[in-house]
Amino acid sequence: MGNKSLIALIVGVVVALVAWNSFYIVSQTERAVLLRFGRIVEPDVKPGLHVKVPYVNQVRKFDARLMTLDASTSRFLTLEKKALMVDAFAKWRVLDAERYYTATSGLKQIADERLSRRLEAALRDQFGKRTLHESVSGERDALMGQVTASLNKAAQRELGIEVVDVRVKAIDLPKEVNRSVFDRMGSEREREAREHRAKGKELAEGIRADADRQKRVILAEAYREAEETRGDGDAKAAAIYAKAYGQDAEFYAFYRSLRAYRESFADKRDVMVLDPSSDFFRYLEKSKP
């Protein structure tokens, strides 16, 4: 290979490298800024194929997809000065590529660190305005909404990123107060249980008393109706007997004597001691030949 061929080869390689470094591609999932000697000349490069001056221009690309910031578990005080251990996370993405590069040099670690401090401050402020119940369940959605809004406003202004959402993964009590809180909760539940039992016993006594009263009333009504029915029956029976007796007094007396004999001698073991001339044996004596 001659000198001319070698020079041509070297020139071709240099031209290829220059041409290679003159083009760059920004994908749909990226944001980019174009620099000239370290200064931003194009703050928001659109997705697609672009041309730059090699070794003069530089391109810094950032991931434009949704990022997750896992904040460390922090201790916050509620309105009534009760401590809570809060574990939260935030979802964010690059909104202003120029401001993001200026504030963080395009490094996600720096963005996470600064955003984490602001997230902690926003959570501390919101938890400090609410009671324990409101923080845990009563106003939890409202709390997250306000934290997201305030953090998003500060992050856009200072870091050029948009905070899409902030969520709390867990809220726990500090280990040193868990036992005392659980004991107090147990005591409160025991007190509520005693109150419910007392109210239940009182209600049961009232129900039993009312049932006993109704029972006595029902029995008295039933006894009255039974006595009235029995009296009516006795009156009707007496009237029937009187009518029958009036039609044939002798036959009625005879019939009554027969019934008395049957009832008196129903059992062979029955023994009666009477005077033979007693009126009880009147019809027996008349039956003698």
Mean model confidence pLDDT for the chain = 82
Q: What share of the chain is helix, strand, coil (3-state, %, to 5)?
A: 60, 20, 20
The pTM of the full predicted model, rounded to 2 decimals, is: 0.55
Tens digit of pLDDT for each residue in 99-145? 999 999 888 899 999 999 999 999 999 888 888 888 777 677 888 88
Q: Please report the pLDDT score of residue 91 as a whole number.
A: 94
Q: Please report the pLDDT score of residue 165 as a whole number.
A: 92
Judging by beta carbons within 10 Å of its beta carbon (0-12, 13-18, 19+), is residue 235 exposed, middle or buried?
A: exposed
Q: Please report the pLDDT score of residue 161 as a whole number.
A: 92
**What residue has token string 């998003």?**
152
Fold of 67-172: Tetrahydropterin Synthase; Chain A (3.30.479)
Q: Please report the pLDDT score of residue 214 as a whole number.
A: 92
DSSP-assigned states of every residue in 137-165: IITHHHHHHHHHHHHHHHHHHHTSEEEEE
Q: Please report the pLDDT score of residue 163 as a whole number.
A: 93
In degrees and rounded to multiples of 5, residue 84 shows phi and psi of -135, 145
Q: How many CB atoms lie within 10 A of CB 76?
A: 18
Q: Please report the pLDDT score of residue 89 as a whole number.
A: 92
DSSP-assigned states of every residue in 14-71: HHHHHHHHHEEEE-TTEEEEEEETTEEEEEEEPSEEEE--TTTEEEEEEE-S-EEEEP
Give the domain ranges of the chain. 3-63, 67-172, 253-286
- Which residues in the chain land under pLDDT 50? 288-289
Q: Please report the pLDDT score of residue 153 as a whole number.
A: 92
